[in-house]
Structure 1
């Protein structure tokens, strides 16, 4: 299976390269002066990278047809290769970011859980992350905000899981927003529920009891940590740099808690909030293993209080619009900079976010609402297009290599999306593969989302006919051939999960 995967990667790369420029044999290293860009032209100088990562941003933005007001994201999507059907490699913050930055799935790195530092796993110290790769080519790699699982932090010593060895420099600034203390009681639990530890027999773990809060804050934009991140990146883009750069900007909102300045809440009057559609019978065809996770008790508690549920939705929408405004600061500086025409801009979120969908809150599922992720690439010479094929965030690393004419790397699990950017309507044979804890996978190809759990139970959704994934088709015999085909893409485990924690 791994041989087939390698051949698929090689086939994809060959589609994008001019046959008159070079001949690929096996996994040879492609020299810079032999490669061509997506529009078959050679750049006069190395291209830069501007990466914008947003935490827990789902598909509610305007360009995705959602209710959130996101003018900056919408404009960028219209100017770019807009991957409207993209997925995280793992629907959890840390392993998703490890997958993006290493170009390898959990099965390859062993990083399945939020608690896992991939550097401490077998072979982890030898992993070459994206910023490390470009540094080896003479780039300056700079980060602000959350790129790996933790931002650098403001202490003298960088946070371990910010992976400081990846960077030339990390900005020691705040992230997110303030205002947290206004919404918790003396015990640290959210005031709106007071510290309820379970609901309908389902536990409500301390993390969500503390961070499941939402509301306006007294801070202005300029007083927030996310603004600090955006301003640092904007200032960086206004300067002249002697070397090509890899600049990564991490915006923390709309990650929990959903707190933002008052003006963003004013854009979503509570009486106008529309709650997510959660059919009462939606879970009847879901396998027992997926009936609930650690967030289900919290989700049911919120949904049992419709007015609080509205406030939660309002908080997520307000936080999304706040994040969009921070992105706008970065984009304004970028568009006005000397680098606008020689930089590949890539924007992504680590996964989606659920607000009651299938009795879930936040992420940690294989359904589109939890695993789907905004993903946009703006590259010189590539025409704007909407791409609806399922793709994975793990493809970012090989795609940048292709677009930027840099040496190939044969240990990546993803494939270059450069051919798809050039021909958006082509049939795409490469599925988006999702893992959440070892033995659980989803395969997304064409219109299908196939889910297989570690106990062998299954789900299958036709996303064209059932975009909300309400109807599990896995038990219908007429889809056996579809399932058999999709099963062949389930990845092999190279490094097993170190430990398993339910809900981890």
Structure 2
């Protein structure tokens, strides 16, 4: 009996030691962050902290979301499933309403004795996937609570002639107040994340912390000092202010998201002049603001001596238009809406930059693989571990995205492959292809004209259509 107890003690001891040796995970999700960062070649924007992280990371230059809207995108990469599998294509549906038994990314790590923490906007809905977290996610509180992130009078500024959706609050699209960082939600979130890290440091249990920052999502609210970083005369101006030539009418989405805010031209036309410049200024200010908050959290990892055993992932959940094509926000299959920043910093991988195609749905299997666990069979992405070890390696020849139209009756399936973005608009009931798009992206994320009608591209289109396979072409590269 004593011998049995001794063996039991040893097995328990070694199991606990094995668990304690597993790396921690800090998963940073930034809302509406496009690859508008210093580490992605933007020499104007000021993002020193993300750029510093890039020097310790593999920077994925060609990473793509699976749908350019936050609810569907987050449901996809947190479940390891693509939108056609989650059956979520909007911001209203919760993952647990369509995938009740899904072993989500945080739930997987919870099952492996990790403490799982959700802070800020992780899922689109705070109440989604409640069993995945060791502690219930909590709403931040502050002087802006109930004012949707405003601290001053911008929440009340509106014109009686503004078009406002029924039931929506009338509020400005930006705010610039001379206040400390923690007066706005993301500053308070960073402080609370640091408090959690200090607590977790004292525990031998590994942790999975998902940290979701809301900026630079609209409204563009940030402390004045971040607005002051930029000269409005030097701000980004898109080289393409009209939709691509010969683009099908089903492809674009205009600026409906901006209709929730006052002081904006509420017509389907370009938002020109001072308003457009102010929006770009606000986006840049918010990006620098959230960069500073990320820096505070990462500095705390170093201060607490957690950095050497923590995998850090930083992503944007989808791209964003800043007046590109004369439009704003996201909600399309265009390159500029689907391409995202993605940085993975693993203690055992050297810093690098890679041109290898990757997708947000790859994050789940990658983290599982890096931590030495077996990848769940349901995962529809691929582990990027080989890319972290050898940046020139290639796992896939296409990245897949999609977006519905016509009240869900038509699905736009899109791939980025080589220098091309190819899209088919397919009638779901019949499988009939109603429209096609083909854009060349050699030096820019901006498309200029639809080349699908060029007879010289007939063979190319056939090849890309077979590769797309009605949105299911990713299955040919799925892990065997």
1:303, 1:359 → 2: CA distance?
5
Deviation at 1:125, TM superposition (A): 0.9
What is the match of residue 480 of structure 1?
A: 458
More off after superposition, 235-244 vs 368-377: 235-244
Deviation (angstroms), 1:91: 0.3
CA contact (8 A) 1:178 1:217 kept: no
**Counterpart Cα distance in 2 of 1:195 and 1:418:** 54
Cα distance 1:138–1:491, how it changes in 2: closer, same or farther (>3 A)? farther
* Alpha-carbon separation, structure 1, partners of 2:22 and 2:34: 33
- Cα deviation for residue 294 of structure 1 reads 5.6
Question: How far apart are the structure 2 equivalents of 1:181 and 1:94?
Answer: 29
Structure 1 residue 85 displacement after superposition: 1.6
1:166 is aligned, of 132, 140, 165, to 132
- The residue aligned with 2:92 is 115
Distance 1:360 1:324 in 2: 25
Q: Distance in 1 between matches of 2:183 and 2:254?
A: 36
Q: What residue number does 1:435 align with?
A: 402
CA gap 1:313/1:293 in 2 versus in 1, 3 angstroms: closer
For residue 452 of structure 2, give the secondary structure of its aligned residue in structure 1: coil
Quote how far apart the aligned CAs of 1:229 are. Answer: 1.5
Partner of 1:401: 368
CA displacement at 1:375 relative to structure 2:
0.6
Q: 2: distance between equivalents of 1:291 and 1:171?
A: 36
Deviation at 1:274, TM superposition (A): 3.9
After TM superposition, the score normalised by the length of structure 2 is: 0.82
Matches within 5 A, 1:272-351: 272-280=234-242, 282-293=243-254, 295=256, 303-351=270-318
- Tell me the CA shift for residue 109 of structure 1: 1.2
C-alpha distance in structure 1 between counterparts of 2:340 and 2:161, whole Å: 31
1:247 match: 209
* Residue of structure 1 in register with 2:116 after alignment: 141
2:149: which partner in 1? 178
Give runs of aligned pairs for residues 151-162 of structure 1, distance below 5 A: 152=126, 160-161=127-128
1: CA distance, partners of 2:470 / 2:245: 31
**Cα 1:339/1:322, change in 2 over 3 Å:** same
Correspondence 1:127 to 2:98? no
Would the alpha carbon gap of residues 274 and 344 (structure 1) be closer, same or farther in structure 2, given more than 3 Å must change?
closer
SS across alignment from 2:434: coil
State the alpha-carbon separation in 1 of the partners of residues 101 and 318 from structure 2.
Answer: 26
Is the Cα contact below 8 Å between 2:69 and 2:330 reproduced in 1? Answer: yes
Distance 1:140 1:304, change over 3 A: closer
Q: Is the partner of 1:268 in helix, strand or coil? A: coil
Q: Measure, in 2, the Cα distance between the counterparts of 1:467 and 1:91.
A: 15
Counterpart of 1:326 in 2: which secondary structure?
Answer: helix
Please give the alpha-carbon distance, in whole angstroms, between the structure 2 residues aligned to 1:194 and 1:305: 21
User: 1:78-89 maps to which residues of 2 (within 5 A)?
Assistant: 78-89=55-66
TM-score (norm 1): 0.79
Deviates more, 1:166-175 or 1:226-235: 166-175
CA shift for structure 1 position 78: 2.0
Q: Gaps (5+ residues) in structure 2?
A: 1-17, 260-264, 427-432, 473-480
State which of 398, 410, 417 in structure 2 corresponds to 1:445: 417
Q: Distance in 2 between matches of 1:338 and 1:219?
A: 31
Q: What does residue range 20-39 of structure 1 map to in structure 2 within 5 Å?
A: none
Range 346-355 or range 418-427, more displaced: 418-427
Asked if 1 retains the 8 angstrom alpha-carbon contact of 2:248 and 2:435, the reply is yes
Measured after TM superposition, the shift of residue 79 of structure 1 is: 1.5
